[in-house]
Amino acid sequence: MGERNEAEAVEKTLVPLLKYQNVVAEEEEVEIKREIWIETRKLWRIVGPAIFTRVTTNLIFVITQAFAGHLGELELASISIVNNVIIGFNYSLFIGMATALETLCGQAYGAKKYELFGVYLQRSWIVLFVCSILLLPMYIFASPILKLLGQPDDIAELSGVISLWAIPTHFSFAFFFPINRFLQCQLKNSVIAISSGVALVVHIFVCWLFVYVLKLGVIGTIATANVSWWLNVFILLTYTTCGGCPLTWTGFSTEAFTRLWEFTKLSAYSGIMVCLENWYYRILIVMTGNLENARIDVDSISICMSINGLEMMVPLAFFAGTGVRVANELGAGNGKRARFAMIVSVTQSLITGVLFTVLIIFLLNHISWIFSSSETVLKAVNNLTTLLAFAILLNSVQPVLSGVAVGSGWQSLVAFINLGCYYCIGLPLGFVMGWILKFGVKGIWAGMIFGGTAIQTLILIFITMRCDWEKEAQNARVRVKKWSVPNAKS
């Protein structure tokens, strides 16, 4: 009897305790959901407009290539080489170098050091403009360079002519990407999206006018890109300097010419990090041009790269959003919030990547027709469907982790990781599978995907999981304080 009373007493004690624990668990679940929703809103405030911006700016190249594709196979191959190799190399370099602003401006925004923004922007303009001058020989001597790389003479000759007409677009990158990052770090993403949308609409009209009305051919298609890119620069520059950024833009400053070497080093590491990755797949186009059936192989892989590049705008928008969110939280000293922002971003990007992979598998036939009406080319594209799906799936994770690196200031570390994975493992494996094992373009691409991108992604996952976020927050505050003092030692 006593034992029964004791059991009842224990039960009476446990029931309220269990109810309390259930209530606590439910409250914690509600709190986690609320935190995820808050972080999602902050993330998509950057990612949403960034997706639109990146899609519209990339569509300028895609539409240019599509117009050229309906002029003929030679025109498509030539403008594909220019877009993916000549312009593509420089495009990725300037994107990479401009991400230095994501680290500096993002962390300064979190620390509320708004006065640093304008100086950072002007330093970036100076560094990138000098860089654009140094890179001019790539455009001027494009034809002999492409011949040296093994491209067929007819493709190399026409590509050389197209490259000369692309020089104004090349210089626009030096101004567009820094101002883009400058506004993005202030969460003024809607302005960038509107500007890009206007430029795309103008581009479509000018393409139609130059190609079908004025009959300017492939030169007309590349000339339209100059108009569109410089219009984009003009709109953003006008907004920034005419009152759109009162806290962060206070006019041109001579301080922009100070500490240029330090800024150049950070920009260079940022550029190398992005370029080693982006150039990796540009090299795929060049390697394909050395195969036996070069014209068809180049056309098919170029179409796949264009589709992959267009879809890539989504994970690259997560790259931007993750970089800004991580930098903001680290700059504010919130290491745990930075980690949480990273987890939310990777998860949502992966879900988006899975959806796009399924869509591409079922719709590739219809999408390919946009770029070419050649049955031979379309059949070659279909043979690459599986590899394209794998590439899209991997790309839904890898750029987001690179965004974590940018927000944290790890550019130099990731640059070395990219060098090892892509160029010491991926390219040699692609060469072996493509030429020695005779798998052709499928072998080259498969080797580069599984030998380079997959391994690099696994390494970034390991580094991110092992990261001490509170220590990174301390490092960010030190970095902001150091850059706040013009004459501080590096």
pLDDT, tens only, 215-250: 888 888 888 889 999 999 999 999 999 988 898 898
Average pLDDT estimate for 318-337: 87
Rounded CA separation 358/366 (Å): 14
Note whether 446 and 433 are within 8 A (CB): yes
Average pLDDT estimate for 140-146: 90
The three-class DSSP label of residue 249 is coil
Residue 197: per-residue pLDDT: 93
The three-class DSSP label of residue 291 is coil
Tokens of 175: 């101004």
Identify the top-confidence range among 31-35, 179-183, 303-307, 317-321: 179-183
Task: State yes or no: pLDDT of 93 exceeds 50.
Answer: yes
For 351-376, the pLDDT digits (tens) are: 988 998 888 878 777 777 777 777 78
Identify the top-confidence range among 134-143, 216-225, 310-319: 134-143
Tokens of 367: 């999408």
Tokens of 403: 């965004």
Distance of CA 242 to the CA centre of its chain: 29
Residue 485: per-residue pLDDT: 47
The three-class DSSP label of residue 490 is coil
Identify the top-confidence range among 109-118, 181-190, 355-364: 181-190
Written in H, E and C, the secondary structure of 436-468 is HCCCHHHHHHHHHHHHHHHHHHHHHHHHHHCCC
Task: State yes or no: pLDDT of 199 exceeds 80.
Answer: yes
Task: State yes or no: pLDDT of 349 exceeds 50.
Answer: yes
Torsional sign, CA 37, 42, 47, 50: positive
Residue 51: per-residue pLDDT: 85
pTM, 2 dp: 0.77
Residue 135: per-residue pLDDT: 92
For 29-86, the pLDDT digits (tens) are: 667 888 888 888 888 888 888 888 888 887 888 888 888 777 777 887 788 888 877 8
Compute CA distances 179 → 174, 217, 258, 323, 475, whole Å: 9, 33, 19, 16, 26
Angle 398-408/88-110 helices, nearest 10 degrees? 50
Note whether 474 and 417 are within 8 A (CB): no
Q: Which of 8-17, 325-334, 349-358 has the lowest mean pLDDT?
A: 8-17
Rounded CA separation 490/263 (Å): 10
Residue 367: per-residue pLDDT: 73
Tokens of 89: 């190399």
Residue with tokens 């976020």: 469
Task: State yes or no: pLDDT of 174 exceeds 90.
Answer: yes
Question: Dihedrals φ, ψ of 252, to 5°?
Answer: -70, 145
Average pLDDT estimate for 398-421: 86
Question: How much of the chain exceeds pLDDT 70, in percent?
Answer: 90
DSSP code at position 210: I
Compute CA distances 459 → 72, 312, 401, whole Å: 43, 21, 10
Task: State yes or no: pLDDT of 1 exceeds 70.
Answer: no
Note whether 450 and 392 are within 8 A (CB): no
Tokens of 383: 């043979």
Note whether 124 and 94 are within 8 A (CB): no
Residue 133: per-residue pLDDT: 95
Angle at 108 between CA 277 and CA 171, to 5 degrees: 45
Angle at 170 between CA 169 and CA 176, to 5 degrees: 75
Residue 488: per-residue pLDDT: 41
Better-scored residue on pLDDT, 261 or 70: 261
Residue 48: per-residue pLDDT: 87
Average pLDDT value over all residues in the chain:
83
Rounded CA separation 280/266 (Å): 21
Note whether 315 and 308 are within 8 A (CB): no
Task: State yes or no: pLDDT of 26 exceeds 70.
Answer: no
